[in-house]
Structure 1
Amino acid sequence: MRRLLYVVIFICFMDLFIELPIVTPFAMSLGASEYQAGIVVAAYSLFNLFGNVFGGYFSDRIGRKNILIVGMMVNIFVLFSYSLIDSVGGLIFLRMIHGMSSGMLTPVAFSLVADLSRKEMIGRSMALTGVSIGSAAVIGPALGGIISSQFTYQAVYMVLAVIYIVGLLITFFAVKESTTKEERLQYNTTSFSALIKRPALNVAYISSFTLMIANGSLAFGLPLKVTALGLEDHITGMLLSIFGITAIIVFASKLNVVYTRFRSEDLVASGILIVALSMSSLHVVSDMWMMVVVMLMYGLGFSLIFPSMNKMIAQNTEVYERGKANGIFYAYFSIGSVAGSFLSGVFATYFQFPFIFIGIILFVMLCVQLIIRKYSKIV
């Protein structure tokens, strides 16, 4: 059953990646200005945050499987509805609902994986979720671009709806509920505020926020760097693929033994340091091959952080509170993504490239994490 959960996670993240190349041009084809197109993009991310918290909370209360089914059914309805949209206002409204329903799914799916994993294998299980996400990151944008160029923007959402129907059938017939009735009755034992204040979880939350600041900055700033070096636009996609493939190799190969041999906190700290150095290096590299080396470094750092911070959530929560904790965790994820893009835009406006300043922010966040570990006696 756990293998099928990785398919479900792949589908959930295809939702994000398949539409990356088309959201802005779709909005502008309906008459949106650049400012309005930005709102269309931001609406999804903002309501994704609310969906994360909502989905996590109710998965503790009424069960993981039930929330997955409800979220997927709403998503299917929303995705088919894109074919009816003919105005910018309608698109923004639909993106709000879409962000909410999609946001419900991620913390639930990760809670299921953690619930069903043996304690000593949680790190490897989380690495395999990284394979699912990395695969979606490589396949999704290319698929979205091909479908939209051959057909229409709406056709991309129709294809995604069909993919979600497959996910719904898998969830309904093959995924079992991972919580018991007794555990669900304890859903209110731990409050959100208690989970937010728990030091071990705070390290994971900060790691999530930090990683997504870097990812948001990379998505914003890398095309600018490629253009400034006089390289063709498709080089941006190639460089992003290098980072994704590097991470997948670590996740899926025997290298993933690091997630069981070393402490998650140490792996996360090492990964943030590598990512910070990578971001800072992007500011000064002067040719494509140097950028390839930097993206290999970035992929390595990402591969150390992602499974490890998810493992920290699993190891420091009980089943009846894990959904809420994952909801908070992925809310930090969403906030970090928005913050990374916003800060990069500000820095690029005044300094051409945002990377050195984002690198400094990552170093600061690493210091914050280490201070929390020191004073909370998290070795």
Structure 2
Amino acid sequence: MLRIAGIFDGISLLVLLGIAMPLKYIWGIDKAVTVVGSLHGGIFMLYALAIIYAGLRVKWNILWSVAALVAAFVPFANFVLDGKLKKAQAKYDVRPFNYSLLVYGIVFFSFFDLFSQLPVMSTFATSVGATPFIAGFVIGLYSLANTLGNVLSGIKTDKVGPFKMLMAGLILSSVALLLYQFVDRPAALIAVRIIHGFVAGLIVPAAFTFSANTTVKDQQGKKVAFTGTFVGLAAIIGPAFSGITASKTSVPFVFTCVAAIGLLLALLSAVFLRKYNMAKKEKDVAAAQASGSFFNAGVAKAYGGAFFLMFSQGAIAYLLPLHVQTLGHDSKLSGTLMSAFGIIAVLIFVLPTNRIFDRVAPSGTMAAGIGLMGLSQLLISQSTTVWALYIVLGLYGVGFAFLFPSINTMLIRATPAKLRGKAYGYFYAFFSLGVVAGSSVLGWLPFPIAGGFLFTGSILLLYAAIVAFDKQSDYALNH
């Protein structure tokens, strides 16, 4: 795969440098570079994926991957490298494929799809004739439709297995993303948003169920934290990618790029995840439902944590740009502040600090996380300097990093494997509802900006106290 992709990359580079560029700069045919450059860019992306995939599978020195990457920028180097690879091909063993990497990729795609919409959707809506009300409506409409998709995915995952729901979600989401190419008026945008939100909701419950049901019990917290790394990366990369790409091309092109990633993941899933499908027999699901073990205090607290996590996110997304603006700064500061909290969260997810989620009861880390998020909301309202805002958003990132794995671990431990799909379906439905509530409720209430932060922080601290002093869910998790 690496050799084939390298040959195509080498050929496209030579065509770009030897044919397209002379056509542009000597004969003035600008489209030559535009067309060939786009083709070369697409081939390079496939080549980069082949480098990563070979690096994961082949038991060789990392210098091979470095050499392959460098060769992409040097004319004829790909062909020289191909000769070396051909001779070395039989010398190295291949590692078994780690399906978890693909599941992490699917989680990243789902949240990348979500976060890439944030900087561009409102402007895209107005560009097709939507009023400010409709522009805001289509943003919330996605989350509402997503809620229905989450619930359906959870129910179906237990019956047909997570693999089929993942495939359905990836393919249908990719098709829905391509539909933005045909949006030319507000009514069409509303229809596409409903379709996109619903089918995108099929992915996450199935992906997390797949991961949870294939994880060793004493490593659940660590694995969920590592999964959170990919959520954090999506939150950091998604807005930047869509904002930059849309400014140079168009919003539909951004969604086409995201759709291409989804289709690639669907293809890889069809090849590597099929044998791991874990469908539950109807009688097993019915028996688990009849046991009455699905809803308990642990599940209720996990759902509450999911709702308030995204309620807080909605409040941050709505209030922080306004607060930054009143301090005399532009939207760039809002973006970097949100990226800062994401980076802090990712570091806690990926560093040895993730071991805490298997060593401390999830109620403890959950209460600490939501408490830190609540405290940071209170402090944001009082922060008037750039450095103070960065410190407070860093504190918010620590709280987010503690809360996300905790509520996932709590849900896993409080639900039987046969009903975990349904449990995750409702779980992410609460996520979606939290986003809607966080931004819309604060928009309806007659609070000033500082008052909105104080209101949100107080609610989070109250819920943190409830979690800290309620021992019923701890009993449910231990029994």
Short-chain TM bin: over 0.9
Q: How does 1:156-171 map to 2 (within 5 A)?
A: 156-171=254-269
Aligned partner of 1:350 among 447, 456, 459: 447
Cα shift at 1:365: 2.2
Question: What's 2:136 paired with?
Answer: 38
Aligned pair count reads 378
Q: Are 2:110 and 1:12 aligned?
A: yes
Question: Is the 2:142–2:194 Cα contact (8 Å) retained in structure 1?
Answer: yes
Question: Is the 1:17–1:141 Cα contact (8 Å) retained in structure 2?
Answer: yes
1:181–1:98 CA distance, 2 compared to 1 (3 A) = closer
Question: What's 2:438 paired with?
Answer: 340
Q: Are 2:399 and 1:296 aligned?
A: no
AA aligned to 2:337 is: L
Question: Is the 2:340–2:390 Cα contact (8 Å) retained in structure 1?
Answer: yes
Q: Are 2:300 and 1:202 aligned?
A: yes
Larger RCO, structures 1/2 (Cα 8 Å, 6+ apart): 1
Residue deviations 1:241-267 (CA, integer Å, cap 9, x gap):
110000000000111111111111100
Aligned partner of 1:104 among 198, 202, 205: 202
1:376–1:255 CA distance, 2 compared to 1 (3 A) = closer
Aligned partner of 2:244 among 143, 146, 160: 146
**TM-score after normalising by structure 1:** 0.95
Question: Is the 1:64–1:177 Cα contact (8 Å) retained in structure 2?
Answer: no
Question: Is the 2:367–2:465 Cα contact (8 Å) retained in structure 1?
Answer: no
Aligned partner of 1:84 among 178, 182, 193: 182
1:148–1:86 CA distance, 2 compared to 1 (3 A) = same
Aligned partner of 1:365 among 458, 463, 466: 463
Cα shift at 1:186: 1.9
Question: What's 2:354 paired with?
Answer: 256
Cα shift at 1:193: 12
Question: What's 1:284 paired with?
Answer: 382
1:375–1:265 CA distance, 2 compared to 1 (3 A) = closer
Cα shift at 1:233: 1.7
Question: What's 1:273 paired with?
Answer: 371
| Cα distance in structure 2, aligned partners of 1:176 and 1:373 | 40
AA aligned to 2:449 is: Q
Question: Is the 1:9–1:132 Cα contact (8 Å) retained in structure 2?
Answer: yes
1:372–1:178 CA distance, 2 compared to 1 (3 A) = farther
Question: What's 1:136 paired with?
Answer: 234
Question: Is the 1:226–1:236 Cα contact (8 Å) retained in structure 2?
Answer: yes
AA aligned to 2:252 is: Q
Question: What's 2:309 paired with?
Answer: 211
| Cα distance in structure 1, aligned partners of 2:290 and 2:341 | 34
Identity %: 33
| Cα distance in structure 2, aligned partners of 1:85 and 1:373 | 51
Question: What's 1:318 paired with?
Answer: 416
Question: Is the 1:64–1:178 Cα contact (8 Å) retained in structure 2?
Answer: no
| Cα distance in structure 1, aligned partners of 2:431 and 2:332 | 27
Structure 1 stretches of at least 4 aligned residues deviating more than 3 Å after TM superposition: 176-185, 188-197, 367-379
Q: Are 2:333 and 1:235 aligned?
A: yes
Question: Is the 2:141–2:194 Cα contact (8 Å) retained in structure 1?
Answer: yes
Residue deviations 1:102-153 (CA, integer Å, cap 9, x gap):
1111111001110111001111110111111111111100110111111111
- Indicate the SS of the match to 1:313: helix
- Indicate the SS of the match to 1:197: coil
Question: Is the 1:203–1:372 Cα contact (8 Å) retained in structure 2?
Answer: no
Cα shift at 1:367: 3.5
| Cα distance in structure 2, aligned partners of 1:115 and 1:82 | 35
1:376–1:318 CA distance, 2 compared to 1 (3 A) = closer
Question: Is the 2:366–2:467 Cα contact (8 Å) retained in structure 1?
Answer: no
| Cα distance in structure 2, aligned partners of 1:250 and 1:276 | 19
1:102–1:227 CA distance, 2 compared to 1 (3 A) = same
Cα shift at 1:167: 1.2
Q: After the TM superposition, which of the residue ranges 12-21 and 172-181 deviates more from structure 2?
A: 172-181
Question: Is the 1:82–1:154 Cα contact (8 Å) retained in structure 2?
Answer: yes
1:358–1:182 CA distance, 2 compared to 1 (3 A) = closer
**TM-score after normalising by structure 2:** 0.76
Q: Which runs of 5+ in 1 are unaligned?
A: none
AA aligned to 1:197 is: F
1:308–1:177 CA distance, 2 compared to 1 (3 A) = farther
Question: Is the 1:195–1:201 Cα contact (8 Å) retained in structure 2?
Answer: no
Question: What's 1:68 paired with?
Answer: 166
AA aligned to 1:280 is: L
Q: Which runs of 5+ in 2 are unaligned?
A: 1-98
Question: What's 2:123 paired with?
Answer: 25
| Cα distance in structure 2, aligned partners of 1:185 and 1:31 | 52
Question: Is the 1:2–1:116 Cα contact (8 Å) retained in structure 2?
Answer: no
Question: What's 2:324 paired with?
Answer: 226
Question: Is the 1:122–1:311 Cα contact (8 Å) retained in structure 2?
Answer: yes
Aligned partner of 2:213 among 89, 92, 115: 115
1:153–1:5 CA distance, 2 compared to 1 (3 A) = same
| Cα distance in structure 1, aligned partners of 2:126 and 2:214 | 44
Question: Is the 1:63–1:184 Cα contact (8 Å) retained in structure 2?
Answer: no
| Cα distance in structure 1, aligned partners of 2:439 and 2:234 | 21
| Cα distance in structure 2, aligned partners of 1:69 and 1:185 | 24
AA aligned to 2:365 is: L
| Cα distance in structure 1, aligned partners of 2:103 and 2:438 | 29
Cα shift at 1:343: 2.3
| Cα distance in structure 2, aligned partners of 1:329 and 1:2 | 21
Question: Is the 2:280–2:418 Cα contact (8 Å) retained in structure 1?
Answer: no
Question: Is the 2:383–2:389 Cα contact (8 Å) retained in structure 1?
Answer: yes
